[in-house]
């Protein structure tokens, strides 16, 4: 019998499938021999990074020979003031993905159950399985998390619930009353991660701020990111906000220096860049309306979204449409890995990018 190093890995790791990120621009241009491609696949900010954040990162380059402040004092102080939470309630991460990983490592023992919704962010499952958890996937309702069904799936072995508001990749969201009722219904032994990566884009009046509930639920942690509206995806900066006790537990697990000097400096500055946030929010609202109207004209179903993207049902397996758009130099995101084989997730771009997409879409649909 031949030896395989795969057999040495844990069962959870062997069962995982690699995360499939959006195709990079350089890869598309290299494969297809084109230039000037645009990427509407990864929910990045089409306006680019916060100018204030970018300037701060450039200034921080002068000291890259030094290790970063592992505790992130300046960024925690800025977040504390902006969010009106204690600095000791904050956990900084190499993207918000690290926050999800820390929670799974801190609270899951092998065999513990983790409840997630169908069509939820794929990393929820990755982190749960990597930590030895058993994932319980609850069928969605209208493409979003079915909170009553998720509550019914919680049992004695459940230790963790992952929930995004709004959800990626569907863009669905939960109103304050229904989400609060869900949190109130959960037993104390269940930790809840409320992922609010796209919260800054949401303008709905009944959209809840999860931070307001932290004092009521010591088992709740809210994760957020600088990758979306602040435009710092390449610097990998996220954070979690929780009770002092939970934040202390997670900070014990953090790798030293997981957040680099440039990210720390850029985060402080970007947080104060109200103009960039306002411009990004306005452009996104216009783009959502533009893309939704175009889908209606083309007779395409889509999932109404409050994020910076829309999942569009192209009416048939989406692979050929995706490939046709690639040939036009436009990258979008096929959702077959999420069990949505007819959908493409399209990130809102600049007006010029959206014009180019909408000009190419009818021909791609006919491919």
Domain residue spans in the chain? 22-48+275-365, 51-272
Q: Is the pLDDT of residue 1 over 60?
A: no
pTM summary value = 0.93
Task: Tell me which of 104 and 8 has the higher pLDDT.
Answer: 104
**Is the pLDDT assigned to residue 350 strictly greater than 60?**
yes
- Residue 362 has a CB neighbour count (10 Å cut-off) of 11
Q: What is the DSSP letter of 308?
A: S
Q: Are 115 and 161 in contact (CB under 8 A)?
A: yes
> Percent of the chain, pLDDT > 70?
96
Is residue 27 scored above 90 in pLDDT?
A: no
Mean pLDDT score, 71-87:
98
Is the pLDDT score of 28 beyond 90?
Answer: no
Which pairs with CB-CB distance under 8 Å and at least 24 residues apart come from 81-89? Answer: 82/271, 83/211, 83/241, 84/211, 85/211, 85/214, 85/241, 86/244, 88/244, 88/247, 88/248, 89/214, 89/241, 89/242, 89/243, 89/244, 89/247
| Average pLDDT over the chain, rounded to an integer | 95
Give percent above pLDDT 90 in the chain: 90
Q: Which residues make Cβ contacts (< 8 Å) with residue 85, sequence separation at least 6? A: 79, 211, 214, 241
pLDDT, mean of residues 150-156: 97
Mean pLDDT over 108-129 rounds to: 96
| Residue 274, CB-side half-sphere exposure with 13 Å CA sphere | 1
pLDDT at 356 over 90: yes
Across 25-39, 55-69, 186-200, 248-262, least confident range: 25-39
Q: Determine the average pLDDT of the residues in 157-170.
A: 98
pLDDT tens-digit series, residues 43-72 = 999 999 999 999 999 999 999 999 999 999
Distance from C-alpha of 5 to C-alpha of 273, rounded to nearest angstrom: 49
- pLDDT at position 32 is 80
Q: Is it the case that residue 335 has pLDDT exceeding 60? A: yes
Indicate the CATH number of 22-48+275-365 among 3.30.70.120, 3.40.190.10, 3.40.640.10, 3.90.1150.10.
3.90.1150.10
- Give residue-wise pLDDT tens across range 180-212: 999 999 999 999 999 999 999 999 999 999 999
CATH topology of domain 51-272: 3.40.640
């Amino acid at each position: 019998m031949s030896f395989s190093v795969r057999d040495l890995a844990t069962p959870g790791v062997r069962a995982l499938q690699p995360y499939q990120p959006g195709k990079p621009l350089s890869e598309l241009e290299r494969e297809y021999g084109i230039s000037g491609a645009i990427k509407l696949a990864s929910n990045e900010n089409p306006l680019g990074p916060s100018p204030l954040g970018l300037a701060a990162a450039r200034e921080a380059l002068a000291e890259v020979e030094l290790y970063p402040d592992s505790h992130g004092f300046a960024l925690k102080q800025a977040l504390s003031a902006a969010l009106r939470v204690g600095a000791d309630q904050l956990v900084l991460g190499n993207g918000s993905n690290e926050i999800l990983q820390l929670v799974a490592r801190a609270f899951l023992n092998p065999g513990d159950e983790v409840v997630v919704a169908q069509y939820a962010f794929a990393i929820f499952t990755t982190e749960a399985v990597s930590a030895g958890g058993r994932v319980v996937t609850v069928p969605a309702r209208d493409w979003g998390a079915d909170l009553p069904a998720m509550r019914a799936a919680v049992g004695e072995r459940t230790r963790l619930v992952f929930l995004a508001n709004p959800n990626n990749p569907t863009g669905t969201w939960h109103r304050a009353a229904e989400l609060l009722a869900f949190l109130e219904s959960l037993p104390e032994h269940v930790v809840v991660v409320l992922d609010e990566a796209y919260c800054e884009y949401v303008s709905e009046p009944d959209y809840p701020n999860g931070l307001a509930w932290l004092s009521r639920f010591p088992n709740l942690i809210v994760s957020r990111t600088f990758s979306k509206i602040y435009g710092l995806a390449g610097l990998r900066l996220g954070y979690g906000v929780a009770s002092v006790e939970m934040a202390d537990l997670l900070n014990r697990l953090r790798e030293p220096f997981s957040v680099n000097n440039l990210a720390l400096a850029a985060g402080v500055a970007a947080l104060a860049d109200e103009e960039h946030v306002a411009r990004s929010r306005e452009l996104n609202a216009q783009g959502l309306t533009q893309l939704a109207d175009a889908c209606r004209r083309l007779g395409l179903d889509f999932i109404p979204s409050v994020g910076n993207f829309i999942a569009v049902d192209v009416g048939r397996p989406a692979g050929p449409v995706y490939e046709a758009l690639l040939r036009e130099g436009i990258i979008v995101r096929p959702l077959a890995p999420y069990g949505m084989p007819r959908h493409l997730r399209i990130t809102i771009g600049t007006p010029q990018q959206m014009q180019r997409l909408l000009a190419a879409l009818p021909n791609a649909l006919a491919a």
